[in-house]
Structure 1
Amino acid sequence: MAANDQPDSDRHGNRRRPGELEAEIITALVDAGRALTPAEVRERLDWSTPLSYSTVVTTLTRLFDKDAVTRQRDGRAYRYAAVADAPALVAGRMGRLLRAEADHASVLRRFVSALDEQDEQILRRLLREADE
């Protein structure tokens, strides 16, 4: 099997970024507006490289274990629905990571210092808007 045929490869033959497939699946569920089977999710994903059914099922199961999706039995399969959109899930993950460290100021200082200029400006704008 060629490298670009691997289920964990993106459309350019590179490994997906951590969480990228989960975000794509959540987006597909949100866009559908209804619960989907793994096969329906797989059909909605926009990958030019093959993505196996078992990869989709495994990812949906992991999302269920993280309380990011709900599922209900539909015959022999499950139908999955998103609890929230992808940005809300990432924000929740960031919040959980921050809560895991007692020294919030140090974590936030390091986080901000690691941002590129564009993201830093976005964060500054959002903080100003929150103050208003």
Structure 2
Amino acid sequence: MESDVLAALWAADGPLTARDVRGRLRGDLAYTTVLTILSRLYDKGMLARHREGRGYAYEPVRDEASHTAQRMHSLLKGGSDREAVLARFVSELSEQDERLLHQLLSGHDGILPDNRRSPGER
């Protein structure tokens, strides 16, 4: 459910109240359930909030790409055989994703060279 709430917030043009989030979700979640999920995400540091009326409006502190990349790093860090995990990941990429990854790693996109870190810094 947290991922559905985050997806609704990422798709929004700005901060959303619990009622707004509930309206964007599929299914019939109770308002209090949505409020609980938002509060937990806020407590985890994943959302920012500001007062709006008697409640709060919430927005993600990171964009979806940053959030997903952080999750991938955490999973990789938690594995016992980093090389095997990376090898399996790369072997299962589509040809298009493989080309994109190669382009990103070689710095031909103009993004990575300034942000590249040595393996010991990860």
Contact 2:5 2:21 in 1 (8 A): no
Change (3 A) 1:105 1:59: same
Unaligned runs of 5+ in 1: 1-7, 9-17
- Aligned residue pairs total 109
Q: Which of residues 120, 127, 131 in structure 1 aligns to 2:98?
A: 120
TM-score computed with the length of structure 2 as normaliser: 0.66
Q: Which residue of 1 aligns with 2:22?
A: 42
Superposition misfits of 4+ residues, deviation over 4 angstroms: 72-76
Question: Paired residue for 2:57?
Answer: 79
For 1:116 and 1:58, locate their aligned partners in 2 and report how far apart those are by CA, in whole Å: 38
Displacement, 1:67? 2.0
Seq. identity, %: 39
Q: Which runs of 5+ in 2 are unaligned?
A: 115-122
Match of 2:73 among 67, 90, 95: 95
The equivalent residue for 1:61 is: 39
Distance in 2 (alpha carbons) for counterparts of 1:54 and 1:123? 42
Q: Tell me: higher relative CO, structure 1 or 2? Use CA pairs within 8 A at least 6 residues apart.
A: 1
Aligned mates of 1:114, 1:54 — CA distance in 2: 40
The question of whether the paired residues in 1 share the 8 Å contact of 2:6 and 2:60 is answered with: no
Q: Which amino acid aligns with 1:27?
A: W
For the aligned residues, what is the CA RMSD?
Answer: 3.0
Could you say which residue in structure 2 is the equivalent of 1:3? none
Q: Is the 8 A contact 2:46 2:62 kept in 1?
A: yes
